């Protein structure tokens, strides 16, 4: 894809990771929009979540995001949803990321326009976060998602947490949506050769920035029942400050201190090639990394 025109990325996270026909229908909604490239679909049955990564000209990406949103809201019923990942709605989070020829503020403007349209067309509460946030308290996604879907009714009753778009009214089927703008991040998980969730949570606490660990790193411990192991699930919020190698090595070292090995790692979506800092993919637990999983491939 040429970068002579602005390129915007969108990475919607949908609360459905098990029903393959539904996931394919959502992917098809994106593929149907001309000029948009669907770069990756990552579905996880334990998180019960699918992450769609697509990019293209800003207007086309906005149309694709809206098409996927409508398809997800038609297909997913939050009243029956249980998974390992925090979530507040069927379309849980929808970030817009400027890749080429755009500023973060322009991506934030695209996020705000999408939020206004979605809130009006679907009549559900929408919160803005990241660079699109309306207040500093709403910039961090964990703050917007605090309490989860189960606490959404109480949050909507609090005037301090009135939605940025749509009504302050709970739709039990759809929940709410967090829409934001951010820079490139890398979603990266390390699977441990253990089913000890307490160990995974302890390792996550030690490596994440909020507990004094690696800079620009978010982490949580998650059980993966279908794989018989636990995972340290991470967001490298700024892969220039904490690379894949540093994150992998920190988790592996803390696991080794507990007598636990690393089974493998997993990339969710795309990564800049620079995030590997010259290490081979196998050196960060990703021996099967494909060329199309590098963000650089789509911008060449």
Show which residues are catalytic.
Answer: 85
Token pair for residue 80? 């029956």
Say whether 176 sits in a helix, a strand or coil. coil
Say whether 33 sits in a helix, a strand or coil. coil
Q: Return d(Cα 40, Cα 288) in angstroms, integer.
A: 15
Q: List CB contacts of 225: < 8 A, sequence separation 6 or more.
A: 46
Q: Which of 73, 184, 183, 202 is nearest to 126 (CA)?
A: 73
Q: Which residues pair with 266 in a beta bridge?
A: 189
28-38: b or e for each residue (b if 16 or more CB lie within 10 Å)? ebbeebeebbb
Cβ-in-10-Å burial (0-12, 13-18, 19+) of 201 comes to middle
Q: Return d(Cα 91, Cα 114) in angstroms, integer.
A: 13
Q: Return d(Cα 233, Cα 190) in angstroms, integer.
A: 7
Token pair for residue 26? 């959502």
Q: Within its chain, how far is the Cα of 165 from the centroid? A: 21
Q: Are 187 and 141 in contact (CB under 8 A)?
A: no
Tell me which residue has tokens 């696991």.
255
Q: Are 42 and 51 in contact (CB under 8 A)?
A: yes
DSSP state, residue 224: E
């Amino acid at each position: 894809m040429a970068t002579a025109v602005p390129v915007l990325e969108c990475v919607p996270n949908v609360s459905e990771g098990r029903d393959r026909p539904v996931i394919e229908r959502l992917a098809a909604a994106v593929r149907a929009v001309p000029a948009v490239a669907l770069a990756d679909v990552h579905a996880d049955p334990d998180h019960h979540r699918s992450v769609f990564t697509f990019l293209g000209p800003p207007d086309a990406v906005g149309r694709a995001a809206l098409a996927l949103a409508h398809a997800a809201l038609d297909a997913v019923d939050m009243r029956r949803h249980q998974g390992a990942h925090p979530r507040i709605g069927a379309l849980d989070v929808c970030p817009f990321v400027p890749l080429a020829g755009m500023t973060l503020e322009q991506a934030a403007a695209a996020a705000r326009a999408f939020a206004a349209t979605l809130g009006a067309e679907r009549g559900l509460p929408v919160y803005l976060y990241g660079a699109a946030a309306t207040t500093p308290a709403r910039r961090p996604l964990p703050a917007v998602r605090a309490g989860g879907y189960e606490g959404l009714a109480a949050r909507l009753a609090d005037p301090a947490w009135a939605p940025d778009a749509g009504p302050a009214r709970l739709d039990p089927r759809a929940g709410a949506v967090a829409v934001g703008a951010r820079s490139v991040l890398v979603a990266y998980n390390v699977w441990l050769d253990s089913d000890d969730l307490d160990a995974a949570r302890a390792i996550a606490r030690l490596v994440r920035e909020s507990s004094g660990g690696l800079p620009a790193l978010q982490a949580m411990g998650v059980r993966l029942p279908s794989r018989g192991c636990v995972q340290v699930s991470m967001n490298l919020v700024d892969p220039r400050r904490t690379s894949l190698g540093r994150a992998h090595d920190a988790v592996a070292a803390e696991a080794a201190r507990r007598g636990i090995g690393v089974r493998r790692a997993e990339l969710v979506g795309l990564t800049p090639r620079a995030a590997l800092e010259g290490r081979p993919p196998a050196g960060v637990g990703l021996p099967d990394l494909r060329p199309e999983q590098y963000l650089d491939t789509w911008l060449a």
